[in-house]
Amino acid sequence: MAKNVLIIGAGGVAQVVAHKMAQNAKEFGSLHIASRTVAKAEQIITSIREKGHSVEFSTHPLDAMDSNAVAALIRKIDANIVINVGSSFVNMTVLQGCIDTGAAYLDTAIHEDPAKICETPPWYGNYEWKRREACEKAGVTAILGVGFDPGVVNAYARLAEDEYFDKVDSIDIVDINAGSHGRWFATNFDPEINFREFTGTVYAWQGGKWTENKMFEVGREWDLPVVGKQTAYLSGHDEVHSLSARYKDADVRFWMGFGAHYINVFTVLQNLGLLSEKPVKTAEGLEVVPLKVVKAVLPDPASLAPDYQGKTCIGDLVKGSQDGKPGEVFIYNVADHKQAYEEVGSQGISYTAGVPPVAAAILVARGTWDVKKMVNVEDLPARPFLELLGDLGLPTRVIDATGDHPL
Amino acid sequence: MAKNVLIIGAGGVAQVVAHKMAQNAKEFGSLHIASRTVAKAEQIITSIREKGHSVEFSTHPLDAMDSNAVAALIRKIDANIVINVGSSFVNMTVLQGCIDTGAAYLDTAIHEDPAKICETPPWYGNYEWKRREACEKAGVTAILGVGFDPGVVNAYARLAEDEYFDKVDSIDIVDINAGSHGRWFATNFDPEINFREFTGTVYAWQGGKWTENKMFEVGREWDLPVVGKQTAYLSGHDEVHSLSARYKDADVRFWMGFGAHYINVFTVLQNLGLLSEKPVKTAEGLEVVPLKVVKAVLPDPASLAPDYQGKTCIGDLVKGSQDGKPGEVFIYNVADHKQAYEEVGSQGISYTAGVPPVAAAILVARGTWDVKKMVNVEDLPARPFLELLGDLGLPTRVIDATGDHPL
């Protein structure tokens, strides 16, 4: 029987998810989208209509911080798959709603406590993985972090394991956005989440243990397809925290590209204390979280889409050996901001994050990935996912001993 | 009969004023200090006691935005002179309290409306000067802007007029703080007022009319006594708006020294919209004025004093002619942050702003400056003021055709 899908969230990524669901409606039963502000969900439906899709798509108001409300909505609409692309603060309540009702759970970013920045590694161990047993007991499929990074890059690592190396020595994930939005400064997704990624300790898994650095302390120049030479910095990121569990003997690092301008703005805000998640009190006695004010003055990431030009390149450089013979492979995708906007009305960063959970939902609906337990993406066969992503607009390419070629 | 004095405000400048009043208590009757937060006034009294002054000094709670409350306090303590060194937003209510009771009014900065940045020139015309007639009618002495700049620099201009030139061609006021507070970033006085000075249009009076520039658009290197070569930028400042009225045929400019680090931080905050005085709404629906949050995260200017090292140089380069013979004179003061801290527990910027209104109060008490009307500092004889300032710790020096010498 066709599976009903509920999207939670109505931001830039949710917009991509909803468009892609509409494009692939034949894979599913009824389609639903829920948001605290239902008007935002309705705007997304309007943009889907503008692209000529007439598929039925219901909108619902929802406080996703309330797991009972989540469960009640799932029951009401008989949802079988929940795609959580709301704020990172709602993961655990949405997951609980799925466990309570038996719906499959997909998300694209790790859970965060609004009051804490950068908890102890592995991050998944602090929240999601504590529900592994509950998922298994309830027979609930929960696929964690199935956006692009985390998500597709985890599948790239698994592909290297499956098809290239019997021993993996290192996984370097490199994320370069060589696009330009034309604004003086903007973040590509929710500024609150964007900055929180970089204000804490940078954890990497190297030499069989967690290593700690500060943001922008370790930089390296990369020469990548299409985007060329780019400087990327060792950064903290979700996927390092799951990949290090499966690839204990490999070094796992995440590198994010930054220009000097971004680093300068970040450094000023950080050093002044404006990226703090802890409230300060104004002279007038008002309690305010500085980071939330920074978010309020920055451009809405969704507003960048119409003018966004250029391309992203995100990939995994995996080194290892097969039968004792060392080698390396770079598995990657190049996405185009303008193409993404023309197709779904979003910029490339939202596009790369929003297409993968739809591919995952299709695989769950088809049964391929309906594993009835909690997993990260590298725990699942990679090829069906990557091939489907190619059909959905995120083709994988590989640079190996034979050259640069499609998957 | 000895005149009773009421200080309004309990910030860094008020601390200097109170210390200097205590040092010169014999010039006055009873001494009083009032603040919204009376505990801050009490701290100032404690710091005066720590310097060994046992003079009686009363503290009072006061909402200076309420002119009736100001008048009531003036009547209660029978104050004859009010030194307003509270926020720039209370000038008009404090002035009204003085007009209603006949007390003399002194302040050190122009009135500002919290909701407006950079109004049309001349700024005094928007608020204070509208009360000229009321002051004259009530026989109230009101001396506007009698800090250092505005204040002493206005007297420097008047000194050049009185003793050097029968025709003044240009007045360039240069303010260099070559001190170092050792923090990553801090403003030397209330960040809200500090930044508001630079976010609007830079008005100068040149060629007999108002000219407009952006902040940091026009820079010039100056080579000054003690502090040496320093880059200063054409900036908006109160005294340009009064001096241009008295010296209509002269160019009047204000130059403020800034390092590259200050300019970078300012530029980032300004371009992001974080220096705005207009409220924004956070995602959670809280209305916040970004500038007030920036103020909340920055160091309290008073906290910089113990570690502040180095010197300030503030002066007027006045060009003109006497009997048709052209000439120029640089009239200036050099102050030392550490000396200021040792004497009154404040850094040099507060010291230079806080000593002049005490000198003015002494001149009002003695009758020399008790003019029973509203004036700016350049409207009063300069020499008695500058000589008294020398006795109080802010000696004037002059560079003229005869060399560099004390006044």
Residue of chain A whose Cα is closest to the Cα of B184 = A271
Q: Which of B63, B184, B282 to mutate to test the interface with A (most CBs of A within 10 A)?
A: B282
User: Quick one: which of A58, A51, A205 has its CA closest to A121?
Assistant: A205
Q: How far is CA B88 from the centre of its chain?
A: 10
B274–A296 C-beta distance less than 8 A: no
Cβ(B34)–Cβ(B7) under 8 Å? yes
Nearest neighbour of A296 by CB, restricted to B281, B295, B298:
B281
Cβ(B180)–Cβ(B311) under 8 Å? no
Q: How far apart are CA A194 and CA A182, in angstroms?
A: 19
Q: 3-class DSSP state for residue B158? A: helix
The DSSP code sequence of A296-352 is HHSPPGGGGGGG-BSEEEEEEEEEEEETTEEEEEEEEEEEEHHHHHHHHSS-HHHHH
Kindly list the distances between the CA atom of residue A117 and the CA atoms of A168, A200, B171, in Å, as whole numbers in the listed order: 31, 6, 53
Nearest neighbour of A297 by CB, restricted to B290, B295, B296:
B290
Task: State the smallest CA–CA distance between residue B149 and chain A in angstroms.
Answer: 25
Alpha helices for B78-174 (secondary structure H): 91-101, 132-138, 152-163
B281–A297 C-beta distance less than 8 A: no
Query: Same domain for A339 and A382?
Result: no
Query: Same domain for A326 and A214?
Result: yes
Residue B275 touches partner A, C-beta closer than 8 Å: no
Task: Give me the pLDDT at residue A117, please.
Answer: 67
The confidence band for A122, taking pLDDT boundaries of 50, 70 and 90, is very high
The DSSP code sequence of B25-94 is GGGSS-EEEEESSHHHHHHHHHHHHHTT----EEEEE--TT-HHHHHHHHHHHT-SEEEE-S-TTSHHHH
Buried b (16+ CB within 10 A) or exposed e, A293-331: bbbbbbbebbebbeebeebbbbbbbbbbeeeeeeebbbb
A288–B296 C-beta distance less than 8 A: yes
Task: Give me the pLDDT at residue B173, please.
Answer: 98
Query: Same domain for A311 and A374?
Result: no
Residue of chain A whose Cα is closest to the Cα of B266 = A268
Torsion sign (Cα): A380, A382, A384, A387: positive
Task: Give me the pLDDT at residue B118, please.
Answer: 62
The confidence band for A36, taking pLDDT boundaries of 50, 70 and 90, is very high
Residue of chain B whose Cα is closest to the Cα of A300 = B283
Phi, psi angle pair for A53, to nearest 5°: -90, 125
Residue B46 touches partner A, C-beta closer than 8 Å: no
Domain count, chain B: 2
For residue A276, give every residue at least 6 positions away whose Cβ sits within 8 Å of its Cβ, in sequence order, or none: A199, A289, A290, A291, B297
Q: Which two tokens stand for residue A141?
A: 């499929």
Q: Which two tokens stand for residue B287?
A: 């209305």
Query: Same domain for B182 and B265?
Result: yes
Task: Give me the pLDDT at residue B36, please.
Answer: 95
Residues in A touching B262 (Cβ below 8 Å): none
Q: Which two tokens stand for residue B405?
A: 């010498």
Torsion sign (Cα): A9, A10, A14, A18: positive
Residue B293 touches partner A, C-beta closer than 8 Å: yes
Task: State the smallest CA–CA distance between residue B182 and chain A in angstroms.
Answer: 14
% pLDDT > 90, chain A: 90
User: CA neighbours within 13 Å on the CB side: how many for A314?
Assistant: 26
Please list the ranges in chain B whose pLDDT falls under 70: 117-118
**Containing structural domain, residue A54:** 5-148+347-392
Residues in A touching B196 (Cβ below 8 Å): none
Q: How far apart are CA B213 and CA B201, in angstroms?
A: 6
Query: Same domain for B28 and B135?
Result: yes
Phi, psi angle pair for A359, to nearest 5°: -60, -45
Residues in A touching B264 (Cβ below 8 Å): 264, 268
Phi, psi angle pair for B276, to nearest 5°: -75, 140
Nearest neighbour of B297 by CB, restricted to A273, A286, A296:
A273
Q: Which two tokens stand for residue B33?
A: 């200090």
Q: Which ipTM was obtained for this model?
A: 0.76
Q: 3-class DSSP state for residue A368? A: coil
User: CA neighbours within 13 Å on the CB side: how many for B303?
Assistant: 9
Residues in A touching B281 (Cβ below 8 Å): 296
Query: Same domain for A292 and A382?
Result: no
Residue B279 touches partner A, C-beta closer than 8 Å: no
Query: Same domain for A179 and A133?
Result: no
Query: Same domain for B18 and B166?
Result: no
Task: State the smallest CA–CA distance between residue B193 and chain A in angstroms.
Answer: 13
Task: Give me the pLDDT at residue A81, please.
Answer: 98
Task: State the smallest CA–CA distance between residue B145 and chain A in angstroms.
Answer: 24
Condensed to tens digits (0 to 9), the pLDDT of residues A331-390 reads: 999 999 999 999 999 999 999 999 999 999 999 999 999 999 999 999 999 999 999 999
User: Quick one: which of B338, B399, B361 has its CA closest to B146?
Assistant: B361
CB neighbours of residue B223 within 10 Å:
8
Q: Which two tokens stand for residue B158?
A: 């008047």
Query: Same domain for A219 and A238?
Result: yes
Condensed to tens digits (0 to 9), the pLDDT of residues A135-145 reads: 999 999 999 99
Task: Examine the pLDDT at A238 and tell me if it is beyond 90.
Answer: yes
Task: Give me the pLDDT at residue A223, please.
Answer: 97
Nearest neighbour of A292 by CB, restricted to B184, B282, B296:
B282
Task: Give me the pLDDT at residue B198, please.
Answer: 80
Residue of chain B whose Cα is closest to the Cα of A294 = B274
Query: Same domain for B136 and B106?
Result: yes
**CATH code for the domain in which residue A141 is found:** 3.40.50.720
Query: Same domain for A248 and A382?
Result: no
CB neighbours of residue B75 within 10 Å:
14
Q: How far apart are CA A60 and CA A248, in angstroms?
A: 43
Quote the Cα angle for B283-B270-A235, to 5°: 65
**CATH code for the domain in which residue A298 is found:** 3.30.360.10
Q: How far apart are CA A135 and CA A336, in angstroms?
A: 37
User: Quick one: which of B269, B193, B258, B183 has its CA closest to A269?
Assistant: B269
What does R_g of chain B's alpha carbons equal in angstroms?
20
Q: Which residue has the tokens 């029978």?
A: B78
DSSP letter assigned to residue A245 = H
A295–B283 C-beta distance less than 8 A: yes
Task: Give me the pLDDT at residue A198, please.
Answer: 80
Q: Which two tokens stand for residue A293?
A: 């004010």
Task: State the smallest CA–CA distance between residue A31 and chain B in angstroms.
Answer: 27
User: Quick one: which of A47, A130, A50 has its CA closest to A96?
Assistant: A130
Burial class of residue B281 in the structure, from the number of CB atoms within 10 Å of its CB (0-12 exposed, 13-18 middle, 19+ buried): exposed
Residue B2 touches partner A, C-beta closer than 8 Å: no
Task: State the smallest CA–CA distance between residue B347 and chain A in angstroms.
Answer: 21
Residue A89 touches partner B, C-beta closer than 8 Å: no
Query: Same domain for A131 and A267?
Result: no
Q: Which two tokens stand for residue B153?
A: 């620099």
Q: How far apart are CA A20 and CA A35, in angstroms?
A: 18
Q: Which two tokens stand for residue B241?
A: 């708006």
B293–A290 C-beta distance less than 8 A: yes
User: CA neighbours within 13 Å on the CB side: how many for B368?
Assistant: 16
Residue of chain A whose Cα is closest to the Cα of B296 = A282
Task: Examine the pLDDT at A1 and tell me if it is beyond 90.
Answer: no
The confidence band for A164, taking pLDDT boundaries of 50, 70 and 90, is very high
Cβ(A164)–Cβ(A322) under 8 Å? yes
Residue B272 touches partner A, C-beta closer than 8 Å: yes
Condensed to tens digits (0 to 9), the pLDDT of residues A200-237 reads: 899 999 999 999 999 999 999 999 999 999 999 999 99
**What are the strands, taking DSSP E only, across B178-278?**
202-206, 209-213, 219-224, 228-234, 251-257
- Determine the length of chain B: 407
Residue B282 touches partner A, C-beta closer than 8 Å: yes
Condensed to tens digits (0 to 9), the pLDDT of residues A241-298 reads: 999 999 999 999 999 999 999 999 999 999 999 999 899 999 999 999 999 999 999 9
